[in-house]
Amino acid sequence: MTSRAWVFGDDIDTDVLAPGLYMKGPIEVLATHCLEAVDPNFAAAVKLGDVVIGGENFGIGSSREQAVQVLQILGIRTLIAKSFAGIFYRNALNFGVTALTCAEAEKICAGDEITVDAPNGTITNLTKNETYSCDPLPEQLMEMVALGGMVPYLEQRLRKGI
């Protein structure tokens, strides 16, 4: 699937993704404020299947899982960054969002059309006709993400008696 890239810099924290001011309201309202401090048009313009590209420490800050959930609500299914904050990374996978570490993430520009092959660890930038390597996700994590996250994955394993 071809996706449009939304590019953000280093140290995008969970308060920018899920601003604390809106945490007491419904998650759908919180999602409308996602990343507004860096790109006021993001929440209104992002489309299902678009990909968020980050720099170093994407998702740094508090452990709020809403930071991943709002991205999901907005249609983001894949995150690519030079590095992720540890808890945010696990939250992404646990909620069924593919999170890939890519040392060459800075080569992707806003609006570039890309395809992502997570199991093989490649990102193809169709706009620039370039391919970048990323850390592939292990098969078990790919299965968990494909099922929608940790809870559906564990439910399936319980049903199978694993």
Q: Is the pLDDT of residue 83 over 90?
A: yes
Q: Total domain count for the chain?
A: 1
Give residue-wise pLDDT tens across range 25-35. Answer: 999 999 999 99
Give residue-wise pLDDT tens across range 39-64. Answer: 999 999 999 999 999 999 999 998 89
Confidence at 6, pLDDT banded by 50, 70, 90: very high
Q: Which domain holds residue 104?
A: 3-160
Q: Are 95 and 65 in contact (CB under 8 A)?
A: yes
What is the model's pLDDT at position 62? 87
Phi, psi of 126 (to 5 degrees): -70, -30
Q: Is the pLDDT of residue 1 over 90?
A: no
CATH number at residue 22: 3.20.19.10
- Mean pLDDT over each residue of the chain, to the nearest integer: 96
